[in-house]
């Protein structure tokens, strides 16, 4: 059995050796097609991989046997979330001898026509992923050559949110006999429309690595637009070509590196204040730098900048070096500039460099040419680059034809020559400034800026100034001084001339306080005009002295206030102090004559004789409170006032009052008082939110009127004026006469979309005087409305006339209901008419607010009244020879039992429609129009004598219209007409109509 087993084993070994020998012999004859075998084996180790051809060959390069496996047109089919992966040709040469020890040692790897699709997840990992399971270093120890050609890779990048590609990949790596590696690679990478071709050459050895890299031009800004995650590259919008080299140590750390960059025309976004950027257009840029981990040398950085103003380009050159050693950092930098326009300085000088000095220089030197600039800087700091400080600075810049704004908006110094010297890191001096500054003459000027190395800088300005006052005040009002801008002078539109010296020491800070500014200006003002210095009035012809320091300002001297001669003094205190400290005080004393009052536009006060002495005094405290005191002596003045009060010169009189303000808002009006013969007024006001809210008339005795009450002023747009007044008397004499009536126009008033000022009135007076011997007693009026439109009202009187009238708004109309116990007494008391005696009045009507003029229509009912002494009525009765009635009219009056008068009032035109009045002895009808505006009348009507008996047939059913065709008429009645002036109309009468029965009366009226 043992002999049989050994025989079989020896036979099997012989068969294996024979098969291996046969395979080896076959491989030496040429590549062996093993595609069929591969189709069965590959899916077992790499599912999804296929190939059109797979060959195996035994080669003898350099005398060493290798087994070369070649795959033609291999692919991984497309999957649901990934396109197909393909390779045109791949070849691996595997050393044969290590195979006998169970190791795979590739010596040569090549790939051509690779088309690879990868997906990068949101975490930055790529698929397909996976690391080789064998010891990579041992497996690659025999590798001598790697070649990759015509390869393209597409990456669906989840981290970037878009796809990018690498194309035209070509790489060749070779291991030299000494074990070092040398290689060359070229690749074109692109994303969107942006691409660049990178070429790299390098070598690796135990001593280190050498790399040289070039990149074709690409725009960093375009790359940032394509990849938002690279937004920082947006700062450079130009095509940049790069060339660089690096030496790496054994640990692949950088030992030395160089970089050279060139860019064509473009725009650089330079850091600006507040984290913003400012554009800097340039025509060309080049950079040449080298460095080690401890030293960086900027051989040259040159920028050719386009001039925003269209001038010749500016060339900036920067060079220097930075060293880091022994825990310290030191940098030396030199900046040179051939020339530049000062107007271009804001674009050339980044906002983040130079602090407030940069802001001051770029804002205030606006024209001229700077040239031959050379500045040097030394910076030191920690080794980490923190706590960097400027320790040395120097250099000069020459300026020609320079325009310098000292403190805007003061007119600038123009056509100057100056030398800007950076004296040290802390000090900048601008000297030799002597020029015409707009309309001011500035001489011996200089600006010295110190504190450049710290957060805040300070400028010292000195100059002599002569010229317009307004320009000097503009200088003192500059916000940087926080002088007159914080404590504004109480006048506007200053005019005049000044000769002064100005010295200012101020921080270059937009938030500078008055306490930080050292200032002194003093001089003489001539021919001064100051607008709105007191109550909106102007000061003229002033010859004043001006002095301004950090402690305060004073202006004083003789002048005229709105054509009125007087004296003025203005003092302002800028010092710190308690809340009660007076910061501003102004006083004006005047003697006002009638001519001066009219010229000043205050003739309405009625000054017509003598002179009035007036003093206006204004004081403002540190706590924000202020007081305006007004006082005057009226003894030497005579007045004739339009409100019915007058005073002769030589009689005593005075007035005074004061207004209280808080933080510029009016908070009180008090002590308002005026005393003179037949005049005594005392008032005060409550304030809300800086505005008068309620005016309290504690006493108002003007002529015969005497009242107390309140006037509530609106605080919001829709609030009404509320007037509440009461007292023993209200004198309206002379204010309700026809002389005060407005002019009448034939044209309707223009339509207005504005409702007018709303109001609410509550008046209660024991007596309202309307004229000599005419008054109403116990009058009460409550009314509300807007503008000229009364919306709701109630009027009552307590006399024998006992009037009650109500107006109520209902939709688009306003209903009116009024009654009077004695209309005749009411008309006499109001001095409107004296012909009517007695009569109980009922008025029922409505205003139609849908129509222009809001016409008023309604009916008047009047019972139990008599008419006496009416000339027009007398003419009509005489025409009918009713002399008994004429005598009654002249004597006790014509008595009527009832009046019924439908009417329509549109503006000043009254239309009557079948108005009728009657008693047992007389009946009257009337139809027509009365135009009160033009004082014209056109009425027609009938007069029915013996009205009771004459009208009886007209009341018979069916037959009544035959005897009395007109409503209220009779069997026998005369027709009449009134036409012409209301005061004296012409009277027409048809006597024949009085002799005819009613049904034939209209025939005779045909001839009227």
* Range of lowest pLDDT (570-584, 684-698, 936-950): 936-950
- Check residue 149 and give its pLDDT: 92
Instruction: Report pLDDT digits (tens) over 364-390.
Output: 888 899 999 999 989 888 877 678 888
Query: Distance between CA atoms of 791 and 812, rounded to whole angstroms?
Result: 11
End-to-end alpha carbon distance in the chain: 172
CA 864 to chain centre: 71
What does the block give as tokens for 723? 């007037």
What value does the mean pLDDT take over residues 400-409? 76
In this prediction, residue 23 has a pLDDT band, given cuts at 50, 70 and 90, of low
Cα torsion 950, 952, 953, 954 to 10°: value is 90
Q: What pLDDT, on a 0 to 100 scale, did the predictor assign at position 15?
A: 44
d(CA 131, CA 138): 15
- The pLDDT tens digits for 318-353 are 999 999 888 788 999 999 999 999 888 887 777 766
CA dihedral in degrees (564, 569, 570, 572; nearest 10)?
-170
- When pLDDT is averaged across residues 388-397 and rounded to a whole number, the result is 86
Residue 875 is predicted with a pLDDT of 55
Higher pLDDT residue, 485 or 470? 470
| Percent of the chain predicted with pLDDT > 70 | 78
The pLDDT tens digits of the residues spanning 933-958 come to 889 999 998 887 754 445 544 444 44
The answer to whether 621 touches 657, Cβ cutoff 8 Å, is: no
Indicate the length of the chain as a whole number.
Answer: 1008
Q: What is the pLDDT of residue 13?
A: 39
Q: Could you tell me where the DSSP H helices lie in 438-548?
A: 469-476
Residue 879 in this model has a pLDDT that exceeds 60: no
Written as six digits, the tokens of 797 are: 């009187």
Q: Are the C-beta atoms of 445 and 414 separated by less than 8 Å?
A: no
Q: Report H helices in 289-412.
A: 345-348, 355-364
Q: Give the pLDDT mean for 562-581.
A: 85
User: Mind listing the pLDDT tens digit for each residue in 212-234?
Assistant: 999 999 999 988 888 888 888 88
Position 1007 scores a pLDDT of: 37
CA-CA distance, 684 to 670, in Å (whole number)?
4
More confident site: 534 or 173: 173
Q: Identify the band that residue 274 occupies on the pLDDT scale cut at 50, 70 and 90.
A: low
Nearest partner of 475 among 504, 447, 513, 495, judged by Cα: 504
Q: At what angle do helices 883-890 and 871-879 cross, to 10 degrees?
A: 160
Average pLDDT, the chain: 79
């Amino acid at each position: 059995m043992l002999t049989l087993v050994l025989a079989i084993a020896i036979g099997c070994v012989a068969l294996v050796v024979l098969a291996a020998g046969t395979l080896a012999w076959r491989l030496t004859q040429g590549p062996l097609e093993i595609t069929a075998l591969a189709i069965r084996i590959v899916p077992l180790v790499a599912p999804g991989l296929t190939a059109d051809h797979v060959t195996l060959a035994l080669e003898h390069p350099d005398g060493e046997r290798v087994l070369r496996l070649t795959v033609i047109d291999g692919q991984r089919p497309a999957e649901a979330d990934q396109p197909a992966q393909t390779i045109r040709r791949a070849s691996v040469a595997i050393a044969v001898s290590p195979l006998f020890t169970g190791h795979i040692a590739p010596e040569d790897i090549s790939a051509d026509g690779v088309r690879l699709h990868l997906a990068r997840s949101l975490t930055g990992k790529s698929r397909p992923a996976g690391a080789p399971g064998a010891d990579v270093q041992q497996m690659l120890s025999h590798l001598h050559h790697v070649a990759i050609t015509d390869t393209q890779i597409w990456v669906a990048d989840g981290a970037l949110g878009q796809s990018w590609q690498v194309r035209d990949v070509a790489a060749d790596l070779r291991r030299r006999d000494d074990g070092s590696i040398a290689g060359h690679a070229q690749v074109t990478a692109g994303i969107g429309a942006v691409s660049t071709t990178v070429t790299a050459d390098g070598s690796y050895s135990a001593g280190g690595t050498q790399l040289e890299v070039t990149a074709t031009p690409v725009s960093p800004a375009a790359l940032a637009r394509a990849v938002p995650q690279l937004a920082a590259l947006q700062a450079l919008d130009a095509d940049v070509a790069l060339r660089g080299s690096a030496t790496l140590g054994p640990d692949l750390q950088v030992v030395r590196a160089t970089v050279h960059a060139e860019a064509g025309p473009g725009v650089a976004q330079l850091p600006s204040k507040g984290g913003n950027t400012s554009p800097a257009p340039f025509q060309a840029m080049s950079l040449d730098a080298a460095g080690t981990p401890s030293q960086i040398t900027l051989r040259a950085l040159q920028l050719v900048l386009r001039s925003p103003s269209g001038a010749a380009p500016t060339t900036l050159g920067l060079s220097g070096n930075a060293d880091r050693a022994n825990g310290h950092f030191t940098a030396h930098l030199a900046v040179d500039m051939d020339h530049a326009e000062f107007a271009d300085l804001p674009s050339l000088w980044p906002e983040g460099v130079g602090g407030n000095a940069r802001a001051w220089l770029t804002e205030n030197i606006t024209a001229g040419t700077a040239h031959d600039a050379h500045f040097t800087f030394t910076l030191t700091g920690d080794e980490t680059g923190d706590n960097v400080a400027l320790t040395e600075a120097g250099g000069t810049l020459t300026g020609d034809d320079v325009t310098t704004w000292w403190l805007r908006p003061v007119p600038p110094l123009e056509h100057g020559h100056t030398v800007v010297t950076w004296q040290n890191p802390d000090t900048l001096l601008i000297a030799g400034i002597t020029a015409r500054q707009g309309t001011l003459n500035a001489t011996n000027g200089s600006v010295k800026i110190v504190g450049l190395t710290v957060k805040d800088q300070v400028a010292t300005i000195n100059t002599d100034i002569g010229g317009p006052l307004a320009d000097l005040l503009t200088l003192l009002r500059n916000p940087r001084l926080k002088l007159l801008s914080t404590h504004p002078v109480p006048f506007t539109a200053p005019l005049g001339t000044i000769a002064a010296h100005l010295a200012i020491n101020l921080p270059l800070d937009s938030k500078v306080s008055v306490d930080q500014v050292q200032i002194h200006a003093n001089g003489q003002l001539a021919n001064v005009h100051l607008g709105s210095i007191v109550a909106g009035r102007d000061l003229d012809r002033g010859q004043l002295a001006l002095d301004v320091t950090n402690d305060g300002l004073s202006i004083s001297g003789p002048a005229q206030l709105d054509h009125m001669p007087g004296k003025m003094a203005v003092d302002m205190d800028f010092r710190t102090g308690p809340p009660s400290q007076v910061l501003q005080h102004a006083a004006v004393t005047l003697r006002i004559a009638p001519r001066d009052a009219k010229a000043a536009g205050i003739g309405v006060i009625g000054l017509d004789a003598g002179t009035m002495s007036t003093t206006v005094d204004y004081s403002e405290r540190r706590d924000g409170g202020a007081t305006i005191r007004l006082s005057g002596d009226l003894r030497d003045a005579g007045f004739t006032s339009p409100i019915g009060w007058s005073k002769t010169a030589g009689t005593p009189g005075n007035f005074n009052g004061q207004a209280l303000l808080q933080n510029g808002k009016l908070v009180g009006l008090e002590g308002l008082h005026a005393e003179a013969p037949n005049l005594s007024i005392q008032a005060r006001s409550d304030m809300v939110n800086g505005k008068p809210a309620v005016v309290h008339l504690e006493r108002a005795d003007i002529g015969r009127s005497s009242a107390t009450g309140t006037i509530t002023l609106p605080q919001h747009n829709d609030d009404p004026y509320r007037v509440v007044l009461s007292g023993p008397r209200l004198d309206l004499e002379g204010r309700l006469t026809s002389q005060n009536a407005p002019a009448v126009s034939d044209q309707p008033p223009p339509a207005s979309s504005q409702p007018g000022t709303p109001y609410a009135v509550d008046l209660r007076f024991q007596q309202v005087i309307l004229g000599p011997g005419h008054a109403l007693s116990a009058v009460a009026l409550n009314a509300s409305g807007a503008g000229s439109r009364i919306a709701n009202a109630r009027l009552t009187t307590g006399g024998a006339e006992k009037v009650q009238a109500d107006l109520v708004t209902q939709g688009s109309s306003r209903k009116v209901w009024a009654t009077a116990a004695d209309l005749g007494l009411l008309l006499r008391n109001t001095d409107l008419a004296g012909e009517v005696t007695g009569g109980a009045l009922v008025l029922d009507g409505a205003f139609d607010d849908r129509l222009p003029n809001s016409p008023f229509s309604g009916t008047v009912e009047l019972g139990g009244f008599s008419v006496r002494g009416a000339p027009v009525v007398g003419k009509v009765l005489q025409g009918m020879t009713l002399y008994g009635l004429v005598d009654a009219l002249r004597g006790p009056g014509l008595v009527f039992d009832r009046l019924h008068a439908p009417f329509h009032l549109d503006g000043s035109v009254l239309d009557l429609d079948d108005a009728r009045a009657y008693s047992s002895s007389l009946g009257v009808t009337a139809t027509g129009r009365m135009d009160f505006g033009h004082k014209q009348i056109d009425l027609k009507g009938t007069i029915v004598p013996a009205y009771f008996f004459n009208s009886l047939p007209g009341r018979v059913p069916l037959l009544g219209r035959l005897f009395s065709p007109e409503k209220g008429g009779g069997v026998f009645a005369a027709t009449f007409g009134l036409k012409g002036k209301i005061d004296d109309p012409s009277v027409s009468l048809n006597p024949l109509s009085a002799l005819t029965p009613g049904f034939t009366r209209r025939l005779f009226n045909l001839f009227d």
